[in-house]
Amino acid sequence: MTVQTAQGPTPPADPGRHLASPTTRSALRIQHHLLGAAREFLRGEGFTELLPPVIGPVTDPGARGSKQVDIDFYGHRYKLMTSAILYKQASLLAFDKIFCVAPNVRLEPLETAGTNRHLVEFHQLDVEVAGASREQITALVEQLVVHMVRSTVAALPAEFEELGRDTDAFHGLLQGAFERVRHSDAVLDLRAAGHDQNPDAELDWEGEALLSAKAGRPFFVTDYPKGSRGFYDRECPGEPGLLRNFDLIAPEGYGELCSGSERTNEYADIITRMRETGENPQKYRWYLDLVREGIPASAGFGIGVERLTRYVAGLDAVWQASAYPKLAGVVSP
Amino acid sequence: MSDLAAPGFPEEAVRLRARTGAAAAFPPAGDYGQVLFGAGPDGPDGLGGPPDRLDALRLTPPVFMEQRLAKLIDLGREPTYQDVDLSTTIGGLRSTAPVYVSALGSTRAAGGDLGLALSRQAGALGIPMVIGENVVPVNGYGRLGEAAGRSLLGRLTAYTERLADGVGGVAVQQSTEDADAEVWNLVHSDPAARPLLDSGRLAFELKVGQGAKPGLGGMTVLDAAAAARVADRYGLDPLFEGQRVLRSSSPGTFTEEILRQQVRLMRNNFPRVRIWVKLHPGRDVAAAVRTAVEAGADAVTVDGAEGGTGWAPAAFPRHVGLPLAECLRRLGALPSGPPPGRLLVSGRMWEGSRAVKSLALGATAVGLGRAALLAVAEDPQDGLVRLVECLGTEMRLLISSLGKYAPGTLGPEDVWSPAEEN
């Protein structure tokens, strides 16, 4: 049983009850199948699965005020991974097409405990392709998501029934060819609807939920402004200030499922962008040494595994898609 | 030593350099932690700067006072200086006076009980307080057994315990090197800061520079053991006798685009937090203020060359950076003038006339640095409270003499410069 609050359901204090709940079991079976379908699809496309690192001297610089977790690594301050992004780029020195299912820990701001879409500990299906453009990588996201959902819907009718999730909701998704909306157009849409979206920032949660609620199937938001994202999203050469990146937004108000971009891979560009994002290049030494020697141009993305599960399973909150959910400020096993 | 002499030449300064080498470029290391540095027009030990043009200005009350008439009509009686309402908004934070406590960082002088006393009194006064950028990397956050008084959490808690509803707020600094300590993220996700965050009284200040040493990062003097502990994060230079070491921070690298994007990133990452920027008095300070404001900063602090409490090479207070008066002149010369409601200034502030002149030239508030520290050193219980009471009374007297009754109504017409007359 879950406790319903004004901000949505909160996880039960007893992990045993959560694990034994039919909702949890169905959600986790759906998640299991989604991941199996992804592996099947990506292997078929020639990808190699790598096991991602859990700790490192540096991780994704993070955003939206979440804190990295520091650990003492034999007297050196190391981080738990908040995203495998830097390691994904480096991994292309071994293989041209890689993926991993990566655990991430982010100490999110306390207010995210009530958003129904944030977990402190979560997983991403991370994909990176050497030499790919944004057009190629968004096409890959589209095919991957369609395959994962089609396969899961076909394989687990009883689980969808148990959850009361009408699989007709995926009719639009299964057609593929998701719409592309530029960030600036999304801002105009939101402002026309009376929502005061900052044009220089990411879509805020409320704005993103508004757009998501209006949509009948997933869509991409592209070309975010530079100040809204990390240094690794490539700046558009023809349109300075805009990034060659994208988010995939789910319909029905479920919000963001996936973020990705073409990557910055030129040394001077990365250093300059690090400064623009307030980073101290000193701590990225191993990564910058690799970049100076040359890493491939690439594009990639990360799909939030629990968020995708939440959407596909039609769950109220993302924590319902985790066996051991951890929410901001809620101490739990 | 020979008996060679050089009358008219700074012989003793040369001899000092000959005896001590690079240490002579700095104030005596033994003074560190006991002496508050920073330029003055006639400072001791050769630390003085050029004559202060802000002090040379005169406040010039008019004979005809339209705003006094408006106040008279409003009150139904003749207004007095006590009718001046000093309350204002400083960088998005409501304040009982156009005054805030400047960042005092991790310098030994601000550590321990003085830092806590300062925080308590600033909270009681309902004026914003800035917490220095390297308190966390040097003294810790306060959750893992560090001495509470020196930690950020200790100061935050001391400040909020005495704070009334609806006023004040804390601005937490971070500079380039502190990005490793993720000071802002730490505060943003900490339950202790939540009351400030939820009530809109938390600000983050991007530290671009400081008045006492424009173009340089923070500098402190450490003993050898303390220096060894931070050797992987800071530049160390064993300049001084007695195993004392100069520890310096990188100042960070800024271009117009880097500043613009950093402010935007802060706005993106911390939408519920007020965004402040602190600038050193660089020759392009007007362009930097404009860039920060256009990118969405709620406040931009200009620290004049007179500013600073910390350790600086002796050449800097004497020879480097624009005086605050010149910064204000350059901002006033912008086609759009100083950014309304967003300019904060600091640099040798302690009494009403300098503060009121700054407000007349476009500032929204003035920061107390050395004065605040000296006040709590004089009386840890009420020293800062009394100093600000006196400052407030002076400001009321001066503003009312100009026929005005709120700090925001002051303007350049209220000051006269004998230099410009000539």
Rounded Cα–Cα distance for residues B277 and B273 (Å): 13
Q: B258 vs A275: CB contact, 8 Å cut-off?
A: yes
Neighbours of A192 (CB within 10 A): 8
In Å, how far is A20's CA from the nearest CA of chain B? 32
Best mutation target among A200, A206, A326 (most B Cβ atoms within 10 Å) is A200
Using CB atoms, pick whichever of A67, A200, A228 lies closest to residue B185.
Answer: A67
Residues of B in contact with A63 (CB under 8 A): 268-269
Using CB atoms, pick whichever of B194, B263, B270 lies closest to residue A65.
Answer: B270
How many interchain CB pairs under 8 A, A with B?
97
- Which tokens is A308 given? 């995708």
Q: What is the mean pLDDT of residues B192-203?
A: 93
Q: A280 vs B176: CB contact, 8 Å cut-off?
A: yes
Q: By three-state DSSP, how is residue A113 classified?
A: helix
Residues of A in contact with B272 (CB under 8 A): 111
Q: What is the pLDDT of residue B121?
A: 97
**8 A C-beta contact, residue B343 and residue B359:** no
Q: B271 vs A201: CB contact, 8 Å cut-off?
A: yes
CA nearest to B120, candidates B383, B389, B346, B350: B383
Residue type, A6: A
Q: Find the closest chain A residue to B264 by CA distance.
A: A227
Using CB atoms, pick whichever of A67, A225, A278 lies closest to residue B179.
Answer: A278
Encode chain B in three state secondary structure: CCCCCCCCCCHHHHHHHHHHHHHHHCCCHHHCCCCCCCCCCCCHHHCCCCCCHHHHCEECCCCCCHHHHHHHHHHCCCCCHHHCCCCEEECCEEECCCEEECCCCCCHHHCHHHHHHHHHHHHHHCCCEEECCCHHHHHCCCCCCCCHHHCHHHHHHHHHHCCCCCCCCEEEEECCHHHHHCHHHHHHCCHHHHHHHHCCCEEEEEECCCCCCCCCCCEEEECHHHHHHCCCCCEEECCCCCCCEEEECCCCCCCHHHHHHHHHHHHHHCCCCEEEEEECCCCCHHHHHHHHHHCCCCEEEEECCCCCCCCCCCHHHHHCCCCHHHHHHHHHCCCCCCCCCCEEEECCCCCHHHHHHHHHCCCCEEEECHHHHHHHHHCCCCHHHHHHHHHHHHHHHHHHHCCCCCHHHCCHHHEECHHHHC
Tokens 């859990």 correspond to what residue? A54
Q: A201 vs B270: CB contact, 8 Å cut-off?
A: no
Residues of B in contact with A277 (CB under 8 A): 261-262, 265
- Which tokens is B367 given? 């920061």
Q: Find the closest chain A residue to B263 by CA distance.
A: A227
Residues of A in contact with B273 (CB under 8 A): 65
Question: Please, what is the end-to-end C-alpha distance for chain B in angstroms?
Answer: 51
Rounded Cα–Cα distance for residues B50 and A31 (Å): 70
Q: Find the closest chain B residue to A330 by CA distance.
A: B191
Best mutation target among B177, B188, B234, B259 (most A Cβ atoms within 10 Å) is B188
State how far the alpha carbon of B363 is from the alpha carbons of A275, B92, B285, in Å: 29, 14, 14
Q: What is the pTM of this model?
A: 0.90
Q: How confident is the model at residue B124 (pLDDT cuts 50, 70, 90)?
A: very high
Dihedral-angle region of residue B279 (phi above 0 means left; psi in -120 to 50 means alpha; beta otherwise): beta
pLDDT at B414 over 90: yes
Q: A46-89 pLDDT, tens per residue?
A: 999 999 999 999 898 766 788 899 999 998 889 999 999 999 99
**8 A C-beta contact, residue A55 and residue A27:** no
In Å, how far is A173's CA from the nearest CA of chain B? 30
Q: What is the mean pLDDT of residues B125-135?
A: 86
Q: Which residue has the higher pLDDT, B1 or A162?
A: A162
- Which tokens is B7 given? 């009358």
Rounded Cα–Cα distance for residues A312 and B100 (Å): 52
Using CB atoms, pick whichever of A108, A204, A227 lies closest to residue B264.
Answer: A227
What does the DSSP 8-state code read for residue A264? P
Q: What is the pLDDT of residue B46?
A: 45
Residues of A in contact with B269 (CB under 8 A): 63-65
Q: Find the closest chain B residue to A78 by CA distance.
A: B180
Q: What is the pLDDT of residue A2?
A: 42
Q: How confident is the model at residue B44 (pLDDT cuts 50, 70, 90)?
A: very low
Best mutation target among B190, B234, B250, B261 (most A Cβ atoms within 10 Å) is B261
Q: Find the closest chain A residue to B182 by CA distance.
A: A67
Q: B268 vs A107: CB contact, 8 Å cut-off?
A: no
Q: What is the mean pLDDT of residues B178-202?
A: 87
Residues of B in contact with A272 (CB under 8 A): 258
Which residues contact residue A139 at a Cβ distance below 8 angstroms, ignoring those fewer than 6 apart?
none
Least confident piece of the model among B99-113, B168-182, B370-384: B99-113
Torsion over CA: B356, B361, B367, B371 (sign):
negative
Tokens 């520290």 correspond to what residue? B373
Based on its alpha-carbon atoms, the radius of gyration of chain B, rounded to whole angstroms, reads 22
Q: B93-105 pLDDT, tens per residue?
A: 999 999 999 987 5
Q: What is the mean pLDDT of residues B119-123?
A: 96
Q: What is the pLDDT of residue A97?
A: 98
Q: How confident is the model at residue B108 (pLDDT cuts 50, 70, 90)?
A: low
Which residues contact residue A141 at a Cβ distance below 8 angstroms, ignoring those fewer than 6 apart?
A220, A248, A258, A260, A301, A303
Q: Find the closest chain B residue to A242 by CA distance.
A: B261
The yes/no answer to whether this complex scores an ipTM above 0.85 is yes
Q: A277 vs B262: CB contact, 8 Å cut-off?
A: yes
Q: Average per-residue pLDDT in chain B? A: 88
Q: B264 vs A277: CB contact, 8 Å cut-off?
A: no
Share of chain B above pLDDT 70, in %: 88
Residues of A in contact with B186 (CB under 8 A): 67
Residues of B in contact with A111 (CB under 8 A): 272
Which residues contact residue B229 at a Cβ distance below 8 angstroms, ignoring those fewer than 6 apart?
none
Q: A275 vs B253: CB contact, 8 Å cut-off?
A: yes
Residues of B in contact with A279 (CB under 8 A): 179
In Å, how far is B418's CA from the nearest CA of chain A? 43
Per run of 10 residues, the mean pLDDT along chain A (length 333 residues) is: 51 87 96 98 98 93 82 91 94 98 93 91 98 98 98 98 96 95 97 94 93 96 93 95 97 96 96 91 92 97 98 97 94 87
Angle at B290 between CA B126 and CA B103, to 5 degrees: 35
Q: B282-333 pLDDT, tens per residue?
A: 999 999 999 999 999 999 999 999 887 667 888 888 899 999 999 999 999 9
Rounded Cα–Cα distance for residues B278 and B348 (Å): 16
**8 A C-beta contact, residue A68 and residue A107:** yes
Q: What is the pLDDT of residue A315?
A: 97
Q: A68 vs B182: CB contact, 8 Å cut-off?
A: yes
Best mutation target among B182, B204, B234 (most A Cβ atoms within 10 Å) is B182
In Å, how far is B266's CA from the nearest CA of chain A? 8
Residues of A in contact with B185 (CB under 8 A): 62, 65-68, 107
Q: What is the pLDDT of residue B50?
A: 59
Residues of B in contact with A278 (CB under 8 A): 174, 176, 179, 206, 262, 265-266
Q: Find the closest chain B residue to A79 by CA distance.
A: B180
Rounded Cα–Cα distance for residues B198 and B318 (Å): 44
Query: Which residues of B touch chain A, with CB atoms under 8 Å apart?
Result: 174, 176-177, 179-180, 182, 184-186, 188-189, 191, 194, 206, 250, 252-255, 257-258, 260-273, 295-296
**8 A C-beta contact, residue B139 and residue B145:** no
Rounded Cα–Cα distance for residues A137 and A117 (Å): 24
Q: A110 vs B194: CB contact, 8 Å cut-off?
A: yes
Q: Find the closest chain A residue to B250 by CA distance.
A: A280
- Beta strand A97-105 with A255-262 is unpaired
Q: Find the closest chain A residue to B229 by CA distance.
A: A75
Q: What is the pLDDT of residue B21?
A: 83
